[in-house]
Amino acid sequence: MRELETKDKAERVAEGSVFSSGLDTLSKYLRAVFMLLVVVIALLLIWFFTFSGFFTVKPDTAVITLRFGKFQNIYTESWHWVFPYPVSRIIKVPTNPQSIVSSSFMPANKALITNRKAAMQNGSPEALKPGVDGYLLTADACIIHTEWRMSYRIVAPKAYYENCLTPESPDKPDDSFRGPVGEDLGTRGPQTLLKAILDDCVLRVTARWKVNDILYNKTAQYIDDVQAMVAKRVGDMNIGINIVTVGLDIKSPPPQTIDAFDEVLQAQMDLDTARKNAEAYALEQNALAQSESANIIAEAETYKKRIVAEVEADGIYFKSILQEYKKSPSSVIATLFTQVMADSMSNVKDKFILNSLGQGRQELRLKLNPEPLTPEEKKEDNKDKEAGK
């Protein structure tokens, strides 16, 4: 019995020593794993608090930092460091120009206006349906369709983030929200707000303008009025946004009346063309009349000067004749008579001289073979003939 007891004790001691050595080994491994985990966690904490707070500001971006939910600073360039989340939060706000397109006032089937030929192949367009098709009413009770494009820039990131109902990340699209049953109720955010402001301003301005001025005559002024109202409304809201441009991409009467408007426009273009042609003709005739008037006046001045010079010359001549006449009247009369006869006879081609002879006798002499004309006499004769014609 003692031997059995001794043997049993020896076996128990051996088993205890083996179990004890296994626990020691397991304990060593667990300590090693724990120390490794401690080192890894320490390294992660060091990396988290050292490197995760660094950020770089990209071009056309502003970074807002919040500390425990309160505004801290705005950065627009370079790299920076802040305490990581949840102590600090980094919010990126885009500052590059952004655009919004509003088709609120277009028909549901936009192709009725943008692709007229394809739309006409399907027959005449149906009447507009309120609540489905968009449209505008003008001051003269006409209907038009428009599509607008507006570009804007964020100039005050803090005011934009705090006052403009931006999403959690302002560089993301507007938040969508749904009803109790899951129906789509629309979006909420800065782009939705700006589009609503643009649509409201378009409605108000269009109600003050006539259809011809909007579509044809004063489109640029109409767009300027819309842009001025939008810029004022956005500025008054203090949401940190500056309106850059407002453009009118599409303007059209209803699809059912486009052909009639085109005919009116063509008639107006023809009228403008005829008016321009008439104005050009009037200018041409006026210039021609002024030119002819100037020529007539110039010829009259020349004629006046010539006549005055001739009269003055005749006056001098008559005064000289008068002086000679006072000295010897008979001589002057005979000389003048001779000159007059010579001048008058020089223009006569055929001359017949009849002399009275005493005792009832009459002698007639005819010059049957006149002498040929000299070159100068021929020129004068031709001039006389042309003047007679």
Tokens of 235: 């500025």
What tokens does 243 get? 């309106």
Kindly report, residue by residue over 274-284, the tens digit of the pLDDT: 999 999 999 99
- Per-residue pLDDT band for 327 (boundaries 50, 70, 90) equals confident
Domain map of the chain by residue range? 2-51, 55-90, 99-253, 274-388
Q: Distance between CA atoms of 67 and 53, rounded to whole angstroms?
A: 12
Q: Specify the higher pLDDT residue, 106 or 186.
A: 106
Dihedral angle, C-alpha 250, 253, 259, 260, nearest 10 °: -140
Cis peptide before 372 (omega within 30 of 0): no
Residue pLDDT, tens place only, 15-48: 555 556 667 777 777 777 778 887 777 776 666 6
Element (H, E) at 352: strand 352-356
Using pLDDT thresholds of 50, 70 and 90, give the confidence band for residue 326. confident
Local confidence band at 362 (pLDDT 50, 70, 90 cut-offs): low
Residues in the chain: 389
Assign 126 a pLDDT band (cuts: 50, 70, 90). Answer: confident
6: pLDDT confidence band, cut at 50, 70 and 90? low
Q: For residues 238 and 141, is the Cβ–Cβ distance under 8 A?
A: no
Phi-psi region of 238 (alpha: psi -120 to 50; beta: other; left: phi over 0): left
110-118 contacts, C-beta under 8 A, 24 or more apart: 112/255, 113/145, 113/250, 113/252, 113/255, 113/258, 114/250, 116/258
pLDDT, tens digit, 9 for 90 and up, residues 199-256 = 999 999 999 999 989 988 899 999 999 999 999 999 999 999 999 999 999 998 888 7
Tell me, what DSSP letter sits at residue 207? T
CATH 3.30.1540.10, domain 99-253, yes or no: no
Residue percentage of the chain with pLDDT more than 70: 80
From first CA to last CA, the distance across the chain in angstroms is: 182
